[in-house]
């Protein structure tokens, strides 16, 4: 587990398209892999496009422009505490309080940074939320996209042989998405990046 | 995740009935229809695409179906029905002018009504039940605004009962009196075509008519009706006749209860109506007189002719408000005051009640009747403006489905007059006029689109009225993806003009010689009293513009310069001849020869001539001191010149130049003590002051007759200029004239000549000596090479005493050279850069062999135009410290000699002045790369920068810093605790590491300065005053630490788990922490773990160093293997800066 290739303790910054296409390993609990490395936790940034509050949990969808990630924030700490440690039962747990607070800030249309464990629910990948940060600066979304594009560039630049095929489809997906949602500025930024940088390597026609 | 309700199967099922009461409970924009078998015309409103955010487009060749994104369709058939009526009197004004009301039967259980807007309005529907077949519903965003609006796309009458009345005219069942009561004999009536309808307005009633109703204003609207004047029509009822000629204009004022008829009348524009039951009233319009007007009464009835669809053509000729325009709304700006139609026409709404505000959304098709089209042809674009007036009516032809936002604010009027059209400059010409000038060599050009700084190097100083033709180029536009840079959208939505300018770097430069039709410069010389004195000044310094003023706020704006007063004044002698050549010159020979004091002074005269153009006048220089006094040169004193209003011709000033100042004192008497006007050390000059540039020659030469060596006026400045001018090539634009040109174009030439007499020779030689001595009063301008050779600052005399002071000491020098590079300087990240008008920059100045660096603050307004690579500049009064460093000081004046055109084309002339320590380059930045947890950075000992988030807190040591006696109020606003040590487990997306920090860095990572509210029990216990629980996280800790002195928290939970169950807390006083105290500590730790990303600059830390803290660290397996770092600096992430940096990094990768 602790090999240098393992990322199991780390919240890996992923695009939704990447996260949802992780390879799941048939272990217990299930683990996930990307390019041969174990990924168990992830961080994504996107807009809340759906929100379903239940008594014990809050389910929501985060759309980062490359896909929608289902997330679940558990709100049942008091039940767990009541069962596990009766000595602390009378006081409310700060963890539960924090979770409740996070569930309150999470309204439709807000941009969130979500961290958590990657889990399988009915065969589909979702994030069991550890924490949520409300991103107030709208530039964050662009930055995340840019970081991912940049990462691709770096990876292609330095480790092309090691990792084989470049994952230019992510950029293409992002471009298509931007085209569709008429976010032409971001789209053109990506195209511009690709055009000026590694068009030949990425195999994208400028 | 939210499955929609199951759709109903089977087309035969009857549509669900929907009441208005059901409708108003909907809280989101919704569309519904009674039939889902969509006809092509209805497909957009009734097609039920799933309400999901669209994913990637399918590879299918078909175009994707049009999305009804903002509106949620009801997936099954619904039939909405209700009674159509006029809006209630209590509804908002905007609704009363345009909307109708749909309501349930008043006997229904939860009867409700909703504001509605109908397409294909038929007057027969008023007052009757209708079935709404296709509709949009927009709930109100603001609760105060009522329930929302129903947009009826298709409808039909519930029952086909015959309408009231029959035959030619049909009564519209408004809430008027019973038709039987109508007595047409006593009341007037009109029959004609409605031409225009005003909005509903209120008007104060005449006060003397007490019976009309107190002080309440009357509310109503005016309809303009073109009536038929034929005999038949004078009797009622009007009959069908093709001979009707609607030619007589009449105005009907629908007042009080009839004012609610406006929505109906507005839809009758262009159609014939009959209004009966009117009475005549005299209306006085201000002082313009009285008019007869028909006013509605309680018995007024409105009828219409269903069989008479003839629409009177509206007069759309230009100049009349009769135009009709129908188009798609493509943009709404200025809070609804400006509406773009078809991306070409700009509809200006001066009154927001003109338009049905609910439905005026992007995508709607509207028609504007009685508008006035104005075609504006500018040099760079053409715009069709559609103006509105009181007659204009705006109706909706088709509702928008692409937008559900209503942009129009309810009560916001009269903004239209305030805005300017700020637009881009194109390749085309822009004509503007000079506004004002504050920076030497520059003007501000202002036209309707904005303002721009213009550099006109050889601008004659005395011309005030002219136009300038500029050319700019459009670059970068594609990058911002503005399809049409001159469209309304581009102007109002995308970027502000200034922002674009910054991006475009339009840098307009024009040579005066290329301009036409500019007359020769004339000298505004008006000397009315020949007895006046003229002082001679030599400018020694110009102070840079103060940054406390805005460009726009030039009134009361002062600029300052320093000069030395020459010890001679100029006076005209009686020998002078009145010139016929200079019209403006008025010299009255009232010179009093009998004045004894004058004759005394006269003995010290040095003869000279003052000439301008072809006019030569004789005068003399008189010493400002009593004749015969010794040491005149010792009394040369400095004076501060204040240029009081911004219109003063500041740009003609030049350091080292001579100036002639007409003595501002009124007294004609020249006393022995002098006029006294220069005694105060400061003199204020306004636009009325007489202050001219002056070239001084000696026997016709600019060079003084050699007295000591070969010194000349201007000394090295002249030499320097000449060398620069020789090297000047066409790729440079000169902003400052050479000294030769300066002398040539001076307002006056003062020639001091030597007479053959011996005593005169002595005086002449002496005055030459004085002028030579003057040169020492201004700094010699050094070249970079000469500076490097001689840079030995004078040692301060009392250096020992001053060494401890933090004052920077040194000499002020003047340095000339070419700018090689400019970059932001300093690592202090200043967050509020926008408001901060000072930039810390570093300028590299070079000549052909050497280069020096100048650092310091330049204010935004003092930043000279054109200061960039390639520019030739002179820094006057730069500070040379004892450490041989050069600094810009607040009094450093940067004189621009020339700008390099080549550098301009390289887009780098204006280096963005962003103080950005990230460009420092001294730090290794670790990119947070997926799968790139390169360990090599950790091995290096130097500082690295990375972005990370706190995962858990390993160890935390907090200490109280207040003494027992010290009340906590003394340090209000700060936290009275200290973080002695904190170990954070952080995650940068590629690996975990342990970051150690103390003090302010730890406080930031712990978020102690942020406001957060713990659980109520904790908050009330630990809040400072027991009441205010909204305080910073850190302040909650104060009372707890006062009690325990020091608290150590050790987290034995295994990272990255967030649980606080394994938190071990201990007090330095061995006291047991209470349950609430424990809870507070947990809250603080959890709060830090659930926050966003921070930038951290850290250097590797040897694990053994930690032993020095003598702490019992939790020995956890994952932490043991983590690299340890010491945090040197932590700061917030600015996503925009990061993105910019990232783009730069990507570029470098190539």
Could you tell me which of A49, A62, A51, A190 has the C-alpha nearest to residue A126?
A62
| pLDDT tens string B295-339 | 888 888 888 877 765 555 555 444 456 678 888 988 887 777 788
A-B CB pairs within 8 A amount to 148
B positions 735-764 inside 8 Å of A (CB): none
Q: What is the pLDDT of residue B528?
A: 41
Would you tell me which CATH number, out of the four given (2.40.50.140, 1.10.20.10, 3.40.50.300, 3.30.360.10), belongs to the domain A6-134? 2.40.50.140
Q: Is B399 in contact with B359 (CB distance < 8 Å)?
A: yes
| A32: pLDDT strictly greater than 90 | no
Highest mean pLDDT among A156-165, B437-446, B913-922, B1095-1104: B1095-1104
- Using a CB-CB distance cutoff of 8 angstroms, which residues of chain A are in contact with residue B1139? 139, 142-143, 146
Q: What is the pLDDT of residue A58?
A: 92
Angle made by CA atoms B376, B380, B385, in degrees to the nearest 5: 25
Please judge whether A10 and B1090 are an interchain contact, meaning their C-beta atoms are less than 8 angstroms apart. Answer: no
Percent of chain B past pLDDT 90, that is, above it, reads: 1
Burial class (CB in 10 A: 0-12, 13-18, 19+), B756: exposed
Could you tell me which of B11, B18, B26, B7 has the C-alpha nearest to residue B133?
B18
Nearest to B53 among A49, A52, A153 (CB): A49
Dihedral sign of CA atoms A87, A89, A91, A92 in order: positive
Could you tell me which of B815, B961, B797, B955 has the C-alpha nearest to residue B878?
B815
- Mean pLDDT, residues B623-651: 62
Q: What is the pLDDT of residue A191?
A: 58
Dihedral sign of CA atoms A65, A67, A69, A70 in order: positive
Could you tell me which of B819, B843, B1086, B1098 has the C-alpha nearest to residue B946?
B1098
CB of A38 less than 8 A from some CB of B:
no
Query: CA-CA distance, B615 to B527, in Å (whole number)?
Result: 14
Query: CA-CA distance, B473 to B971, in Å (whole number)?
Result: 57
| pLDDT tens string B244-270 | 778 888 889 888 888 888 888 888 888
Long-range contacts of residues B163-168, Cβ cutoff 8 Å, at least 24 apart: B163/B124, B165/B303, B168/B237, B168/B238, B168/B239, B168/B240, B168/B305, B168/B307, B168/B308
- Mean pLDDT, residues B511-525: 40
Q: Is B1011 in contact with B1024 (CB distance < 8 Å)?
A: no
CB of B1140 less than 8 A from some CB of A:
no
Name the closest residue on chain A to residue B479, using Cα atoms.
A188
| pLDDT tens string B734-745 | 777 777 777 777
Please judge whether A151 and B1149 are an interchain contact, meaning their C-beta atoms are less than 8 angstroms apart. Answer: no
Q: How many residues does chain A have?
A: 206
Query: CA-CA distance, A14 to A37, in Å (whole number)?
Result: 14
| pLDDT tens string B748-757 | 888 887 777 7
Q: Using 50, 70 and 90 to split pLDDT, how confident is the model at B455?
A: low
| B502: pLDDT strictly greater than 50 | no
Q: What is the pLDDT of residue B261?
A: 87
Cα dist from B474 to B42, B143, B504, whole Å: 43, 47, 7
Q: Using 50, 70 and 90 to split pLDDT, how confident is the model at A95?
A: confident
Average model confidence (pLDDT) across chain B: 68
Q: Is B909 in contact with B901 (CB distance < 8 Å)?
A: no
- Using a CB-CB distance cutoff of 8 angstroms, which residues of chain B are in contact with residue A35? 931
Name the closest residue on chain B to residue A109, using Cα atoms.
B53
Q: Is B593 in contact with B536 (CB distance < 8 Å)?
A: no
Q: Is B736 in contact with B896 (CB distance < 8 Å)?
A: yes
B positions 470-529 inside 8 Å of A (CB): 479-481
Name the closest residue on chain A to residue B481, using Cα atoms.
A185
- Mean pLDDT, residues B219-246: 75
Radius of gyration of the CA atoms of chain B, in A: 42
Backbone dihedral angles phi then psi of residue B377, each to the nearest 5 degrees: -110, 105
Q: What is the pLDDT of residue A59?
A: 93
Radius of gyration of the CA atoms of chain A, in A: 19
CB of A77 less than 8 A from some CB of B:
no
Could you tell me which of B593, B559, B557, B594 has the C-alpha nearest to residue B573?
B593
Q: What is the pLDDT of residue B312?
A: 53
| Residue B653 burial (CB count, 10 A) | 21
The CATH H-level superfamily of B170-176+186-204+217-304 is Nucleic acid-binding proteins (2.40.50.140)
Q: Using 50, 70 and 90 to split pLDDT, how confident is the model at B59?
A: very low
Burial class (CB in 10 A: 0-12, 13-18, 19+), A137: middle
Domain ranges of chain A: 6-134, 140-203
Q: How many residues does chain B have?
A: 1150
Name the residue with higher pLDDT: B720 or B557. Answer: B557
Nearest to A98 among B55, B1055, B1090 (CB): B1090
Q: What is the pLDDT of residue A118?
A: 92
Q: What is the pLDDT of residue B414?
A: 37
CB of B1 less than 8 A from some CB of A:
yes
**What is the per-residue burial (b if ≥16 Cβ within 10 Å, else e) of B911-947?**
bebebbbbeeeebebbbbbbbbbeeeebeeeebbbbb
Which range has the worst mean pLDDT, B125-139, B485-499, B621-635, B969-983? B485-499
> To the nearest whole angstrom, how far is the Cα of B1138 from the nearest Cα of chain A?
7
Query: CA-CA distance, B748 to B1102, in Å (whole number)?
Result: 77
- Mean pLDDT, residues B487-496: 49
| B1089: pLDDT strictly greater than 60 | yes
- Mean pLDDT, residues B432-461: 50
Dihedral sign of CA atoms B385, B390, B393, B399 in order: positive
- Mean pLDDT, residues A10-34: 81
Q: Please report the ipTM that was assigned to this predicted complex.
A: 0.79
**What is the per-residue burial (b if ≥16 Cβ within 10 Å, else e) of B776-794?**
eebbebbbbbbbeeeeeee
User: Which of A49, A146, A162 to mutate: most B Cβ within 10 Å?
Assistant: A146
> To the nearest whole angstrom, how far is the Cα of A146 from the nearest Cα of chain B?
7
| pLDDT tens string B91-106 | 777 778 888 889 888 7
Cα dist from B329 to B142, B815, B1005, whole Å: 24, 60, 50
Q: DSSP readout, B337-384?
A: TEEEETTTEEEE-SSGGGS-TTT--TT-EEEEEEEEEEEEE-SS-EEE
> To the nearest whole angstrom, how far is the Cα of B192 from the nearest Cα of chain A?
50
A positions 105-164 inside 8 Å of B (CB): 113, 115, 130-133, 135, 137, 139-140, 142-143, 146-151, 153-155, 157
Could you tell me which of B1050, B1129, B1070 has the C-alpha nearest to residue B1097?
B1129
B positions 989-1048 inside 8 Å of A (CB): 989-992, 1014-1015
- Mean pLDDT, residues B340-362: 81
Residue with tokens 């159509």, as numbered in its chain: B84
User: Residue A195 in 3-state DSSP?
Assistant: helix
| pLDDT tens string B899-952 | 776 544 433 322 222 222 233 333 334 443 322 233 444 444 567 888 888 988
Q: Is B310 in contact with B240 (CB distance < 8 Å)?
A: no
| A128: pLDDT strictly greater than 90 | yes
- Mean pLDDT, residues A73-88: 61
Q: Using 50, 70 and 90 to split pLDDT, how confident is the model at A153?
A: low
Query: CA-CA distance, B785 to B788, in Å (whole number)?
Result: 5
Backbone angle region of B956, left / alpha / beta, with phi > 0 → left and psi within -120 to 50 → alpha: beta
Nearest to B57 among A50, A148, A176 (CB): A176
Q: Using 50, 70 and 90 to split pLDDT, how confident is the model at A8?
A: confident
Domain ranges of chain B: 16-35+66-157, 170-176+186-204+217-304, 326-398, 532-546+557-575+603-625+635-701+739-778, 944-961+975-1021+1028-1142
> To the nearest whole angstrom, how far is the Cα of A31 from the nearest Cα of chain B?
16
**What is the per-residue burial (b if ≥16 Cβ within 10 Å, else e) of B165-202?**
beebbbbbbbebeeeeebeeeebbbbbbbbbbbbbbbe
Which range has the worst mean pLDDT, B114-123, B184-193, B222-231, B1024-1033? B1024-1033
Q: What is the H or E stretch that residue B601 is in?
A: helix B596-602
Percent of chain B past pLDDT 70, that is, above it, reads: 58
Cα dist from B470 to B475, B503, B901, whole Å: 16, 18, 16
| A126: pLDDT strictly greater than 90 | yes
């Amino acid at each position: 587990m602790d090999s240098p290739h393992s990322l199991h303790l780390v919240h890996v910054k992923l695009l939704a398209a990447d996260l949802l296409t992780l390879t799941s390993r048939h272990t217990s609990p299930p683990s996930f892999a990307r390019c041969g490395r174990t990924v168990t936790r992830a961080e994504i940034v996107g807009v809340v496009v759906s929100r379903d509050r239940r008594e014990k949990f809050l389910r929501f969808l985060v759309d980062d422009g490359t896909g929608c990630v289902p997330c679940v924030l558990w709100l049942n700490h008091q039940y767990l505490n009541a069962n596990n440690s009766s000595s602390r039962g009378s006081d409310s747990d700060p963890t539960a309080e924090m979770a409740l607070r996070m569930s309150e800030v999470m309204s439709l249309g807000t941009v969130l940074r979500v961290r958590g464990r990657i889990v399988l629910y009915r065969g589909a990948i979702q994030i069991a939320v550890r924490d949520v940060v409300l991103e107030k600066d709208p530039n964050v979304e662009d930055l995340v996209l840019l970081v991912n594009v940049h990462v691709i560039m770096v990876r292609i630049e330095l480790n092309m042989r090691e990792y084989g095929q470049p994952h230019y489809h992510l950029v293409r997906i992002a471009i298509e998405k931007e085209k569709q949602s008429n976010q032409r500025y971001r789209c053109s930024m990506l195209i511009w990046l690709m055009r000026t940088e590694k068009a030949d390597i990425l195999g994208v026609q400028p | 995740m939210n499955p929609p309700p199951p759709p109903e199967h089977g087309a035969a099922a009857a549509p669900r009935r929907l009441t208005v009461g059901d409708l108003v409970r909907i809280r989101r924009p919704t569309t519904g229809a009674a039939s889902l078998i969509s006809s092509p015309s209805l497909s957009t409103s009734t097609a039920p695409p799933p309400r999901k955010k669209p994913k990637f487009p399918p590879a299918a060749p078909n175009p994707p179906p049009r999305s009804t994104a903002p509106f949620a369709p009801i997936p099954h058939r619904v039939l909405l029905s209700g009674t159509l009526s006029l809006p209630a009197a209590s509804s908002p004004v905007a609704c009363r002018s345009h909307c109708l009301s749909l309501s349930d039967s008043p006997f229904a259980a939860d009867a409700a009504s909703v504001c509605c807007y109908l397409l294909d309005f038929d007057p027969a529907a008023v007052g009757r039940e209708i079935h709404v077949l296709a509709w949009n519903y927009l709930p109100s965003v603001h609760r105060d605004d009522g329930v929302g609006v129903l947009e009826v796309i298709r409808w039909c009458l519930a029952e086909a009962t015959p309408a009231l009345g029959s035959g030619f005219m049909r009564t519209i069942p408004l809430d008027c009196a019973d038709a039987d009561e109508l007595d047409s004999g006593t009341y007037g009536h009109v029959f004609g075509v409605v031409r225009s309808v005003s909005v509903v307005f209120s008007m104060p009633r005449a006060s003397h008519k007490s019976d009309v109703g107190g002080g309440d204003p009357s509310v109503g609207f005016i309809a303009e009706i073109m009536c038929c004047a034929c005999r038949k029509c004078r009797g009622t009822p009007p009959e069908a006749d093709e001979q009707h000629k609607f030619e007589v204009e009449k105005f009907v004022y629908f007042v009080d209860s009839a004012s609610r008829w406006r929505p109906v009348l507005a839809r009758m524009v262009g159609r014939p109506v009959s209004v009966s039951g009117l009475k005549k009233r005299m209306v006085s319009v201000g002082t313009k007189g009285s008019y007869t007007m028909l006013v509605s009464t309680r018995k007024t009835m409105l009828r219409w002719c269903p069989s008479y669809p003839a629409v009177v053509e509206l007069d759309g000729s230009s100049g009349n408000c009769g135009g009709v325009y129908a188009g798609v709304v493509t943009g709404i700006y200025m809070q609804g005051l400006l509406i773009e139609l078809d991306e070409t026409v700009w509809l200006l709404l001066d009154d927001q009640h003109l338009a049905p505000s609910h439905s005026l959304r992007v995508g709607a098709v509207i028609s504007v009747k009685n508008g006035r089209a104005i075609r504006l042809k500018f040099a760079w674009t053409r715009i069709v403006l559609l103006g509105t007036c009181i007659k204009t009516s705006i109706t909706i032809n088709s509702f928008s489905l692409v937008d559900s936002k209503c942009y129009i604010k309810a009560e916001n009027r009269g903004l239209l007059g305030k805005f300017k059209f700020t637009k881009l400059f194109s390749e085309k010409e822009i004509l503007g006029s000079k506004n004002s000038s504050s920076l030497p060599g520059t003007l501000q050009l202002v036209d309707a689109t904005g303002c721009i700084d213009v550099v006109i190097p050889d601008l004659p100083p005395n011309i005030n009225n002219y136009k300038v033709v500029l050319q700019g180029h459009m670059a970068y536009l594609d990058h911002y993806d503005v399809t049409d840079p001159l469209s309304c959208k581009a102007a109002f939505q995308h970027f502000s003009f200034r922002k674009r300018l910054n991006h475009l770097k339009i840098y307009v430069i024009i040579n005066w010689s290329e301009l036409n039709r500019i007359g020769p410069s004339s000298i505004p010389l008006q000397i009315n009293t020949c007895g006046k004195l003229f002082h001679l000044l030599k400018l020694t310094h110009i102070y840079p513009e103060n940054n406390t003023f805005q460009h726009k706020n030039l009134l009361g704006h002062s600029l300052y310069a320093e000069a030395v007063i020459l010890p001679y004044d100029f006076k005209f002698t009686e020998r002078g001849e009145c010139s016929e050549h200079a019209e403006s010159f008025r010299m009255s020979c009232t010179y009093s020869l009998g004045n004894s004091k004058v004759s005394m002074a006269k003995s010290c005269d040095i003869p000279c001539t003052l000439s301008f153009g072809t006019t030569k006048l004789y005068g003399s220089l008189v010493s400002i001191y009593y004749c015969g006094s010794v040491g005149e040169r010792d009394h040369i004193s400095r004076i501060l010149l204040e240029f009081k209003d911004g219109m003063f011709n500041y740009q003609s000033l030049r350091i080292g130049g001579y100036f002639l100042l007409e003595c501002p004192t009124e007294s004609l008497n020249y006393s022995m003590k002098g006029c006294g006007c220069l005694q105060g050390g400061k003199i204020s000059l306004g636009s009325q002051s007489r202050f001219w540039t002056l070239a001084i020659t000696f026997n016709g030469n600019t060079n003084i007759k050699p007295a000591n060596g070969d010194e000349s006026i201007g000394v090295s400045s002249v030499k320097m200029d000449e060398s620069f001018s020789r090297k000047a090539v066409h790729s440079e634009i000169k902003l400052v004239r050479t000294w030769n040109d300066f002398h040539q174009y001076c307002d006056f030439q003062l020639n001091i000549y030597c007479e053959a007499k011996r005593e005169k020779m002595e005086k002449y030689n002496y005055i030459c000596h004085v002028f030579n001595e003057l040169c020492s009063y201004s700094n010699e301008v050094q070249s970079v090479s000469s500076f490097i050779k001689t840079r030995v600052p004078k040692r301060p005399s009392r250096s020992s005493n001053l060494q401890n002071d933090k004052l920077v000491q040194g000499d002020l020098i003047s340095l000339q050279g070419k700018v090689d590079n400019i970059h932001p300087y300093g690592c202090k990240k200043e967050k509020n850069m926008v408001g901060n008008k000072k930039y810390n920059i570093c300028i590299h100045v070079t000549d052909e062999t050497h280069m020096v660096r100048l650092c310091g603050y330049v204010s935004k307004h003092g930043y000279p135009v054109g200061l960039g690579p390639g520019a030739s500049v002179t820094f006057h009064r730069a500070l040379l410290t004892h450490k041989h460093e050069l600094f810009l000081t607040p009094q450093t004046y940067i004189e621009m000699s020339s700008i390099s055109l080549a550098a301009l084309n390289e887009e780098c002339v204006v280096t963005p002045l962003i103080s950005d320590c990230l460009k420092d380059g001294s730090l290794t930045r670790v990119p947070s790369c997926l799968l790139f947890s390169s360990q090599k950075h950790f091995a290096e000992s130097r500082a690295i920068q990375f972005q990370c988030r706190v995962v858990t807190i390993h160890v935390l040591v907090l200490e109280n810093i207040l003494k027992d006696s010290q009340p906590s109020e003394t340090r209000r606003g700060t936290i009275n605790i200290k973080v002695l040590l904190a170990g954070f487990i952080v995650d940068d997306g590629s690996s975990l590491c342990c970051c150690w920090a103390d003090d302010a860095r730890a406080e930031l990572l712990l978020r102690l300065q942020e406001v957060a509210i713990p659980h109520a029990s904790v908050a009330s216990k630990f809040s400072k005053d027991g009441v205010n629980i909204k305080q910073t996280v850190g302040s909650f800790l104060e009372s707890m630490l006062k009690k325990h002195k020091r608290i150590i928290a050790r987290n034995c939970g295994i990272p990255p788990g967030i649980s606080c169950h394994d938190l071990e807390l201990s007090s330095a006083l061995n006291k047991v922490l209470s349950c609430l105290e424990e809870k507070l500590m947990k809250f603080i730790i959890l709060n830090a773990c659930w926050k966003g990303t921070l930038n951290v600059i850290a250097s590797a830390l040897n694990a053994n160093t930690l032993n020095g803290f003598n702490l019992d660290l939790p020995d956890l397996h994952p932490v043991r293997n983590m690299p340890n770092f010491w945090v040197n600096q932590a700061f917030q992430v600015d996503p925009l800066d990061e993105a910019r940096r990232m783009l730069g990094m990507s570029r470098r990768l190539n």
